[in-house]
Structure 1
């Protein structure tokens, strides 16, 4: 019988295309990936991966094994979801993936409340800007700023994040929009809606600096580095910042929650969903009053 763990490591290499990428996705070292893959190939006496200097390429046999292994993985996850959905009372580990801005500045403030109400559930909160797969159990519950599109997911809108322009109250050009300099995202964020909105507002005015993290934008604005486009729920509470007006369109992002459809009746998943529904509905700055 082939070791399922070795298959799991093979899947990671096949999906990422590199040993290092597989190591990052599984949170292990490069040597472990290489050792597992070599053991699998020795066990079946066949080559699945062509190891190249900067990439790993599937052999024809490896491609077919990859297709079959994905079916095995989905079957294993289906069993896990079935067991989770029938577990009483609510207990076990639930993984919640959410954007960094919500994790660092909102969710962590409510974890004590969740723990007191659900002592049997270990909530693992992952700060993820990337999309994660519910089908592959990379998360049990996800929060995203675009509607999740996995066909096996069930999504619900939780609220919205409105954005505005903010600068330090000590910013020398605070009252002279023509002299504003902007705190922007780097080119890695091309196509991201808040970057496009901010650059549209900036127009021909200069960019003072580029930072790829929203909390960095907040700190740079507080230090007087320029004008930043920040979530209102975060910036309005900061006594060092002042909202400034502009002629552009208002901007906001919807907040979506999604789970795999097989977990809709899971007690521990329902507990996390109810928790999220509660804290968003009770936070006026994030509740979507249009619905």
Structure 2
């Protein structure tokens, strides 16, 4: 009987290119298939007791099998935190590969019908203004996929997919990231915004923290414009503009949704665009594929982007 890792490597080598690093990784880190259900159950339940219940085994058996798994791999796969078992970075790597293989082997065993199965958790990292802009999109996705837990992390800090800090990134970037899968949505359109129906001039400018000068385009329209405040985020910028204290630059896909403010004029496009980014080895997971395709379709219908760039 072939071990699980051999089956998975055979499958990936037939369906993808350049999988040599993954082949080596799997042979060193993946135990025989018979132990994989134990590992997956512990990872998904977070406790030995929960895994034992899910597998209809006794807790001692599960604990012994997990010790065998870690001994065979030679790496610690779980940290013990607050009474729960949390995957380490090595554990997350094994889990990612094991989950893909489990899905594909289930498909081979159960036929085409199993391809429609979508469940599990997706962790998405994105900026706060993107989360607010896509709230309706995410609500629709949750309604259509009730078995998928969507974990949304609103942050602008660097998130490393290779360390499994998230499953999917939605990020502005000058170019497509290297060695990762990505979907380019388009170049966002930016405009100068002011409070709705404001009659005052555009001489008061709100900048982002670290922005040294008033927008050159604004100065063409309002030569006496000067910076009166600086904020550290797009959402804060919008809320300051809505008070009527000054004008500022915002992406149209976000700001056009707010009835408190209005566009004055567009500014020249910025370099780069919005990307949906994810790991190549997770691209075949049904839930990842479903989410990426759903969000991409939603964004391509959304105003405020130059989708031809």
* TM-score for both structures, normalised by structure 1: 0.63
- The aligned counterpart of 2:138 is 111
Which structure 1 segments of 5+ residues have no match? 1-67, 188-194
- The aligned counterpart of 1:76 is 91
Distance of 2:101 and 2:189 partners within structure 1? 38
3-state DSSP of counterpart to 1:230: strand
- The aligned counterpart of 1:58 is none
3-state DSSP of counterpart to 1:135: helix
Shift in Å, 1:163: 0.7
Distance of 2:212 and 2:172 partners within structure 1? 15
- The aligned counterpart of 2:160 is 133
Shift in Å, 1:241: 2.4
Which of these residues, 291, 297, 306, is aligned with residue 278 of structure 1? Answer: 297
- Do the aligned partners of 1:161 and 1:252 also contact (CA within 8 Å) in 2? no
Distance of 1:197 and 1:210 partners within structure 2? 11
Distance of 1:196 and 1:163 partners within structure 2? 18
Distance of 2:231 and 2:200 partners within structure 1? 21
- The aligned counterpart of 2:225 is 205
Post-superposition Cα deviations, 1:33-57, rounded to whole Å, max 9, x if no partner, equal xxxxxxxxxxxxxxxxxxxxxxxxx
Return closer, same or farther for 1:118/1:244 CA change in 2, 3 Å cut-off.
same
Post-superposition Cα deviations, 1:152-175, rounded to whole Å, max 9, x if no partner, equal 41122023321100112454533x
Return closer, same or farther for 1:227/1:135 CA change in 2, 3 Å cut-off.
same
- Do the aligned partners of 1:90 and 1:267 also contact (CA within 8 Å) in 2? yes
Distance of 2:197 and 2:303 partners within structure 1? 28
Shift in Å, 1:139: 0.4
Distance of 1:149 and 1:253 partners within structure 2? 9
Distance of 1:197 and 1:256 partners within structure 2? 28
Alignment of 1:1-291 (within 5 A): 75-88=90-103, 89-104=117-132, 106-146=133-173, 151-174=178-201, 177=202, 180-187=203-210, 195=211, 199-201=215-217, 205-245=225-265, 249-251=268-270, 254-286=273-305, 288-290=306-308
Return closer, same or farther for 1:147/1:73 CA change in 2, 3 Å cut-off.
farther
Distance of 1:267 and 1:230 partners within structure 2? 35
Distance of 1:245 and 1:112 partners within structure 2? 32
Distance of 1:150 and 1:241 partners within structure 2? 34
- Do the aligned partners of 2:185 and 2:307 also contact (CA within 8 Å) in 1? no
What's the C-alpha RMSD, in Å, of the aligned pairs? 3.0
* TM-score for both structures, normalised by structure 2: 0.59
3-state DSSP of counterpart to 2:284: coil
- The structure with the largest alpha-carbon Rg is 2
